[in-house]
Amino acid sequence: MYSYRLTICVLLLSISIFAISGPDSRQPTDPKSLTAPVNPAAQPISIDDLFYSRQTVPGGWSPDGHDVVFTTNLTGRMNIWKVNSSGGWPIQLTQSDDREFQAIFSADGKWIVYQQDLGGGEIWDIYKVPSDGGPAVNITNTPEISETNPFFSHNGDLVSINWKPKVASSTDIAVLDWKTGAVRNLTNEKSKDHSWFASTWSRDDRYIYATRFLVSFTDSDIYRIDVQTGTMENLTPHQGQIVYEASSASPDGRTLLISENAKGGFSNVALLDIATKKITPVTDTEWEASSRDFSPDGKSFTYVINQDGRTDTYIADTATRQARKLNMPEGLTTPVGEPTAFSSDGRSLLLSHQSSQRVSDLWVYDLASSKARQLTYSTIAGLSPREIPPSQLVHYRSFDGKIISAFLWLPYNLKRDGSNPGVVLPHGGPTGQTLDTFSRTVAALASRGYVCIAPNVRGSTGYGMAFQRANYQDLGGGDLQDEVYAAHFLVDTGYVNAKKIGITGGSYGGYMTLMAIGKTPDVWAAAVEEYGIIDWFTMLQHEDPMLQQYEKSLLGDPVKDRTVYENASPIKYLRNAKTPLLVLQGENDIRVPKEEAEQVVKILQDAGKTVEFHYYPAEGHGFSKRENQVDAIQRTLSFFDEYLKNEPQPSAAR
């Protein structure tokens, strides 16, 4: 267990340590070697305890280091709060039904700026609120343009924002004049399959360093943009597809801290000399290494290693590039905060930490004392980590011998008699990864006797570019088989009944759920899909223009590659489904529009199949309002209890 103050042991590490391991070093797990944990006091976790344990999303430091601003749903809505960096009760600064993120202090500390959604539709506006309290003001107020990711120049005169019209396929970079509110674009992307993301200001505020990326996330360059003239210089010209991304500029203006995957398609940390464009490697690993921040004096910097879905934070000496790891507990530890995780005096580092048994919270790491102190406390007191079955990292061979990583949760006190229900949880994306996060869905299921597995199938990030592209023009093919083999792994543990396996996921996980019950109908006994794709052609008609380009990057040209689209669409197979299905969908979803869910329901109803559905008003891609999150998990549990545990449910249960 954590203490209220956690001593951080510093371990000096040779950079070459990371080179000895990577995805290729994974070995299959013997499913029979897994053992259910024992806890005589275990019982189903209260849904209220799970969902009244808050979500905490980082914001950033105040200029004087006195406060930290962040987003939390303490009230059931994702609003802006601040807390004294020494600890204490947080203060609510905003109140809205809509989601609010990316909170930062102005350069003088008098204001907090953030982005706010409208009804889940992802047309964000930039707002400001006095840091000591007062009415919030919509600065941009543009119903047809989405403005996101605000961060101030050092002198406080300008705010960099990402700028995307509703009808555009590309995001550009703009600057907002803090005094007048006028917005001026710095980029004007002409290519439909590229977009821009602003990374950091130069210390003299003359330049913004930005990343221009291909929508497939397989290629990008770092640019230096002159804020006054708009002229730009490519700092990473290259041949072929390589990902370069800037994260921080050194105080002396000479060096950028970057991530790049030039060596074998594996992401590593490096230093980029701005004048010469020379790149000096920092890490050499086949796990995913990502750069973060320079310290205010430039003598050190931070980065993160994602090793098979769990992350560690490192602090490196800029001169020697030797690194020390923060000795935090297992799970996910990441430096957070805009514009940097370092406090302005360089004495403290803001961290986010969570695990499968711990809700995400903010911690402050004191560099002088080498101690970390928990700053936010998001967990309901009645929800003990001891009640939540821990995650176990496992590996298995799929149909073609490819090694797949997965997190597995075995309920407490489970009998190895082959009688228990199991659930496979495909992740979203597909360009994404299941990490060792705190999952309320998993905690609810596993504490009720469901063996859960969340695989990182081909197409996932975190295992190199070749693995990420292994599902190109094969969506619902090899990646679906990876999910099926996860179900086989559950059975092979000896705990799970092959006739009692369900599947559930959202977004691409929802798509995978629909493909699973259509293409492999005999594997699954029940399914719950949230905002999943049914037909890639109708998605092209209704989804956000940027996502149209992303879809094409995965499937090809919809005319030339029509057969690929048809074979990858669940609509081709859904009438074969034997599995009872529950459909959950937000009405304002621009990523997977409601029309997709309506098609699913109509097809199954017309075919006389068992299908239930519920649509959530004023929700987008995912459910942000607490009452809707609670409703969705209750419907899911009731559905699985009926069809996987054969427990009849009262009609009012759903």
List, edge to edge, every strand of the sheet that includes 207-214.
194-201, 207-214, 220-226, 232-234
Assigned domain for 539 exists: yes
Domain hosting 470: range is 383-580
Taking CA atoms, 599 is separated from 502, 543, 641, in Å, by 22, 15, 26
Tell me the pLDDT tens digit for each residue of 73-113.
999 999 999 999 999 999 999 999 999 999 999 999 999 99
Assigned domain for 4 exists: no
Tell me the mean pLDDT in the region 245-272.
Answer: 97
Assigned domain for 457 exists: yes
- Exposure of 421 by Cβ count < 10 A (0-12 exposed, 13-18 middle, 19+ buried)? buried
Lowest model confidence (mean pLDDT) among 249-258, 303-312, 319-328, 471-480? 319-328
Assigned domain for 7 exists: no
Tell me the pLDDT tens digit for each residue of 49-72.
999 999 999 999 999 999 999 999
- pLDDT reading at 2 higher than 70: no
Number of Cβ within a 10 Å radius of residue 292: 24
Q: For position 654, what pLDDT does the model report?
A: 56
Q: For position 653, what pLDDT does the model report?
A: 54
**Residue 650: band (very low, low, confident or very high) from pLDDT cuts 50, 70, 90:** confident
- Look-up of token digits 């993120």: 101
- pLDDT reading at 651 higher than 70: no
List, edge to edge, every strand of the sheet that includes 56-61.
56-61, 67-72, 79-84, 91-92
Assigned domain for 219 exists: no
Q: For position 370, what pLDDT does the model report?
A: 85
Helix 478-492 / helix 508-519 crossing angle, nearest 10 deg? 80
Tell me the pLDDT tens digit for each residue of 279-288.
999 999 999 9
For the chain, how many structural domains are there in total? 1
Determine the Cα–Cα distance for residues 475 and 97; give it in Å rounded to an integer. 36
Determine the Cα–Cα distance for residues 145 and 167; give it in Å rounded to an integer. 9
User: Across all residues in the chain, what is the average pLDDT?
Assistant: 94
Lowest model confidence (mean pLDDT) among 168-182, 308-322, 357-371, 593-607? 357-371
Q: For position 112, what pLDDT does the model report?
A: 98
Q: For position 367, what pLDDT does the model report?
A: 87
Cis status of the peptide bond prior to 130, with omega within 30 of 0: no
Q: For position 652, what pLDDT does the model report?
A: 52
Q: For position 12, what pLDDT does the model report?
A: 29
Tell me the pLDDT tens digit for each residue of 557-595.
999 999 999 999 999 999 999 999 999 999 999 999 999
Assigned domain for 536 exists: yes
Tell me the mean pLDDT in the region 190-206.
Answer: 96
Q: For position 374, what pLDDT does the model report?
A: 95
Q: For position 412, what pLDDT does the model report?
A: 97
- pLDDT reading at 596 higher than 50: yes
Tell me the mean pLDDT in the region 301-307.
Answer: 98
Q: What is the domain-level CATH number for residue 569?
A: 3.40.50.1820
- pLDDT reading at 1 higher than 70: no
Take residue 329 and report the two structure tokens written for it.
């507990």
Alpha helix ranges (H) inside 502-544: 508-519, 536-542
Q: For position 7, what pLDDT does the model report?
A: 26
Assigned domain for 246 exists: no
- pLDDT reading at 250 higher than 50: yes
Assigned domain for 252 exists: no
Q: For position 181, what pLDDT does the model report?
A: 95
Tell me the pLDDT tens digit for each residue of 105-164.
999 999 999 999 999 999 999 999 999 999 999 999 999 999 999 999 999 999 999 999
